[in-house]
A and B are shown apart, each in its own frame.
Chain A
Amino acid sequence: MTSSILQTATRFLMPLLLLFAVFLLLRGHNEPGGGFVGGLVVAAAFVLYAIAYGVSASRRALLVEPSMLLGVGLLVAVGSGVPALLSGLPFMTAAWGTVGVGPLAFDVGTPLVFDLGVFLAVIGVVLTIVFTLGDVARAED
C-alpha cells in the first residue's frame, strides 16, 4: 500500500522533524526538551518514513544499523562519566565550560554528552524494535 499524499508529506516532514529533534536535544537543559524526547522524535520520523516508503527504504535512510546506535549511545552515555573518574572525582560528576563569546556564549558540559548518548540509544531502541517487527511482518506476508 503506497500513498503519494503520505509520501510527499513525509518528504517535507522528515527534515523538519529531524531539525526539531536536534533543537529539542540542545535546548533541553534550559527549556522543555532533552535527549529522550528528541530521540523519540527522530525515531518517530523514521517510523513515518517506514510507513510511507517501507522498512527497507527507512533502513537505508538511517544510514547506520539501529542496533549500532544502541551500542554507540550507551557507550557515549557511559563515556560522559569517565572524565570525572580520570580526575579523581566520583563517576559522572559534571564538568562545565563555556564556548563562544558575548551573546553567543553558552555553557557546555558532560551532561550534554550524556544526553546525546541517551538520544542515540533511544533512537536505536525504538527503531530496532520497529524495524525488526516490520521485517518479520513482511516476511509473513
Chain B
Amino acid sequence: MVPEALHVAIVLSPFILLPAAGWLGARGSRHARFLSLVPAVLTAYFGFTYWLVSTTGAFTVTLPWATNLGLSLSFHFDGLALMFATLITAIGALIVEYAARYLDGHRDAGKFHISLFAFIGAMLGVVLADNVVTLFVFWELTGFTSYLLIGFEHEKPQARQAALQALLVTAAGGLALLAAGILLSNAGGTSSLSMLRGNDLNLTNDPAYAGIAILVLFAAFTKSAQFPFHFWLPNAMQAPTPVSAYLHSATMVKAGVYLIARMTPLLGGTALWSGSIAAVGALTMLGASYRAVLETDLKRILAYSTIGALGVMMLLLGLGTPQAVTAALTYLLAHACYKGALFLVAGAVEHETGTRDVRSLAGLSRAMPKTALAAMLAAASMGGIVLFFGFIAKEQLYESVGAASPFGIHAGVLTAAAVASSMLLGSAGFIAGVSPFIGQSTPGRVIQEPPASLWVGPLILGAAGLVTGLAPAIIDAPLGLAVASIIQDAPPVSLAIWHGWSGTLALSVLTSFVSIGLFVFREPVRRMLRPRALRTERVYTGALAGLDAISRTVAPALQSASLRSYALIVVMTGVAFVAAALLTNRVLPTLSRWTPIELHEAVVAGLIVAAALSAAVARSNMTAALSLGAVGYGVALMYALFGAPDLAMTQFAVETLTVVIFVLVFYQLRGFGDLSSRIVKVRDALVAIAAGSVITVLALFIGASGTTSRLSSYFAEMAPTRAHGRNIVNVILVDFRGFDTLGETTVLVTVAIGVRALLLIGRERRP
C-alpha cells in the first residue's frame, strides 16, 4: 500500500513544486510547458486512487498537525472528491500548457505560474479536505491565489479592483465556512467530515442547525457567484484568459457546488436547505442566462452563462433526488468541458485579432480553422445539440425538474424556467462559439491560426464533449461513485443518448430550435431587450464606502502618527488596567514591614527625583537627555544597592548608550520647541503622577505579598540542579524563560531594521 505521508505529499505536490513553477515559468514557453506534466501526472494518480476507491471503498489519509487541538491534515478520497480532483488536474494540464504559450515572454510569467500552481494545490485541498479546518484553509487559499491571478495585470486599476472584489466577497464566504465548521464540529463532536457523515448524526434537530446551514449556504453562494453575490464573477474577467477558463468556469466557482454536494448528506433534507438552494439556483439561472444573451464581450457572455450554469447545478442539488443529483454532476462535467473550451477559444481569438467584441468578429473560420472547429464543438455541446454531452446533461435536467415538485410548486413552473434558461444559454453559446467564425470576414486584416498550444487544449475539451456524448456509458461508473458519496443507496447511473419518444425529447428539440432562432436574430433581440440588472453590486460598493468613512473618522483618533499621543494611550491603558486590578482586589499596601532607610539610599532617591524634575522642566535637548540619563544611573545605583548586580550593570550600559543615541538624534531635531499648551502640560502631569502612584502601590503590594519569596526559593533551588547555573537572573533569561528572550531578541532585531530603514528612506545608501 502507499504510505499515508506519500499520499499527502502527492496531493500537496503543486505547493512543493512552486519554486520549479517560478523558475521554469519565467524562462519562456518552451520551458514553461513542461510544467503541464505535473497536473498530467496528478491526473494519472487520481486515476489510480479512483481504482483504489472503486475496489476497496473510500479511504482517508491523515498527517497529525496540531494534535492538541484535535486538528490534523487529512484528505478523504471518495467518488465525489475524485471526480472534482480529476477535473481540476486534467483541465489544469491543458490550462498550464495554454498559459505557457499565452504568456510567453511576459515579464511576470514566473509569478503567474507560481500563483497558478498554488491555486491548483489549494483547489485539490478543498475537494479532498476531510477536516473542517483544512477545508477552510484551502478554501481561503483558492480565494487568495485567485486574487493574485485576477489582479495579474496589476498596473490596470480595473484588474486590481476586480481582484479585491472577488477576494472580499469570497473571503467573507470563507469566514462563514470557518464559523460553520466550528459549529459543526461542536455539534458533531469531531472535525472530520467523513466521521461526521459516518456517525449517523441527526444534525437537523440540533439547535445550531439553522446557523450552520445558513453559514454553509452563504459560503457556497458567494464562491459560486449565486444571486445576489454574482457580480464579482463578470468583473473577474479582467484576469488573463487561461485564468478565466480555469478558475471562473471549470474549477473554483464550482467549489460552492462541491460544498453543497459535500454537506448535503450532513445538512440536507430540510426545507431550509433544499428550498434556499433550489430558489437561489433557479433565480440565478434565469437572471444570468438572460444577461448572457445581451452581452457583447466574449468573456462577459461566457461569464454570465457560467453563472447561469452554476444556478442550474444549484437548482438540481436543491431538488436533491438521486436523479437530480446525477443530473447536477452530469451538467457540471459537460459545463467544465464546453465552457473551458469556449473561454480558451475567446483567448485565442483575442490573441490573434486584438478584440473580444462579438459585433466586430466574423468569418474567422477561414483563417483559424482549427480554433473554429474547437469552438463549434464546444458551442454544440453548450447548445445541447443531439450527440453531444450537453444534450444528455440537458435531458437529465428536464427529466429531474419534471419529476420533482418541491414544496407544492408545480413541476411545470420549474420545467418552464429550466427550458427558458436552456434556450438562452444555448443561444449564448452559439453567440460566443459560432458567430466569430461565420459570415463575412473583415477585409484588410491578416489573421493567422494561433500556435498549436492555443488550439489543442480547447479542441481536446470540445472533442471530449462529443466522445462522451456518443458513448456516455464510459462515465457511468465514476459518476455513479460520485453520486453514491452524496446519496446512499442511489440507483446505479446509466447515461444514454436515446430515452425514447417522450415529452423531454420534445422539449429538447424545441429548446434547440429556439436557441438557434435567438442566435440568428441576436441583433434585434439585443436591441429590444436592454440589460436591466438588479444592481446588488451597489450594496457591495456602498458597504465598502461606509467602511472607508468609518475608518476615516476612527483612524485619525487612534493613529495620530504622533509618538506622544501613542505613549499617552499606552501609559493610560496600562495604568487603568493595573489600577482596576488593584482596586477590585482591595489591595492596599500594608506598611508594616518597613526596612530602615539608610542615608545613602535617601541621597540616591533624592537625586533621582531631582533629575526627573530637571528633565521635566528642561529648556534644551541636552539638559533633558542628560537629566534622563541621571535618572537612569540613579535607578541603576538602586539596583546595585539592593542586590541586583545584573540589572545594575545592564542599566548602566543601556543608559550610557541611550545618551549617545540621544546626542546623535539631536542632529535630526530642529532645536528645542515648547510645543504643548498649558492644558496639555497639566494633562500630561496628571497622567504621569497617576502612573507613578499606581506603580508605587503595585511595587509595595508585590513586596508585601508572599509570592516573591516563593518564586525566589523555587528558582534558587532549581537553577543549579536543573539548569547548571548559579546566577538565577541569567538562568531565567536563557533557560527557564528562554523562549521569551528569543521573542524579545527578535523584537530588538526588528526595531534595528526598522530604525535603519526609516533613517535611510529617501537617502542614497552609503557604502
Contacts and interface: CB of A to CB of B under 8 A. Distances in A.
Interface in B725-767: 725-727, 729-731, 733-735, 738-739, 741-742, 745-746, 748-749, 751-753, 755-756, 759-760, 763, 766
A129 B667 CA distance: 14
B661 interface: yes
B620 interface: no
Contact of B755 (A28, A36, A132, A137): A132
Contact of A47 (B660, B753, B763): B660
A35 to B, nearest CB: 7
Interface residues of A, number: 53
A86 B85 CA distance: 36
Interface residues of B, number: 42
**Chain A's interface: helix, strand, loop or mixed, by majority?**
helix
The prevalent SS among residues of B at the interface is helix
Nearest to B734: A111
B1 interface: no
A111 B727 contact: no
B653 A132 contact: no
Given A34-B734, A37-B653, A28 B727 contact: yes
Contacts of A32: 645-646, 649, 727, 729
Contacts of A30: 725-727
B730 A128 contact: no
A22 interface: no
A12 to B, nearest CB: 18
A16 B765 CA distance: 33
Contact of B756 (A77, A126, A132): A132
A28 B668 CA distance: 37
Q: Which of B730, B751, B753 has the most CB of A within 10 A?
A: B730
Given A32-B645, A74-B749, A111-B734, A94 B723 contact: yes
B766 A36 contact: no
Contact of B668 (A24, A73, A136): A136
A33 interface: yes
A24 B646 CA distance: 10
B710 interface: no
A49 to B, nearest CB: 12
A104 to B, nearest CB: 16
B270 interface: no
A35 B759 contact: no
Given A40-B654, A47-B660, A140-B667, A70 B725 contact: no
A82 interface: no
B760 A70 contact: no
A51 B661 CA distance: 12
Nearest to B648: A32
Nearest to A39: B653
Contacts of A73: 745, 749
Nearest to A122: B748
Contacts of B763: 136, 139
Contacts of A107: 724
Contacts of A24: 649
Interface string A102-115: 00000101011011
Given A92-B739, A118-B745, A140-B667, A37 B723 contact: no
Interface in B640-696: 645-646, 649-650, 653-654, 656-657, 660-661, 664-665, 667-668
Contacts of A135: 766
A66 B277 CA distance: 62
Contacts of B735: 94, 111
A124 B572 CA distance: 33
Contacts of A136: 667-668, 759-760, 763
A60 B566 CA distance: 38
A31 B731 CA distance: 10
B633 to A, nearest CB: 14
A82 B734 CA distance: 15
Given A133-B665, A134-B664, A34 B646 contact: yes
B759 A133 contact: yes
B231 to A, nearest CB: 47
Contacts of A67: 752-753, 756
A125 B658 CA distance: 13
Contacts of A74: 745-746, 749
A133 B661 contact: yes
A28 B749 contact: no
A135 B733 CA distance: 34
B745 A137 contact: no
B731 to A, nearest CB: 7
Contacts of A91: 739
A24 B724 CA distance: 17
7 contacts: A28-B727, A32-B645, A51-B660, A91-B739, A129-B755, A129-B756, A130-B660
Interface of A: 24, 28-37, 40-41, 43-44, 47, 51, 67, 70-71, 73-74, 77-78, 81, 91-92, 94, 96, 107, 109, 111-112, 114-115, 117-118, 121-122, 124-126, 128-130, 132-137, 139-140
The 3 A-B pairs with the shortest beta carbon distances in the complex, nearest first, are A40-B653, A29-B725, A137-B667
Given A33-B730, A94-B735, 6 more contacts: A29-B731, A30-B726, A32-B645, A32-B646, A40-B657, A74-B745
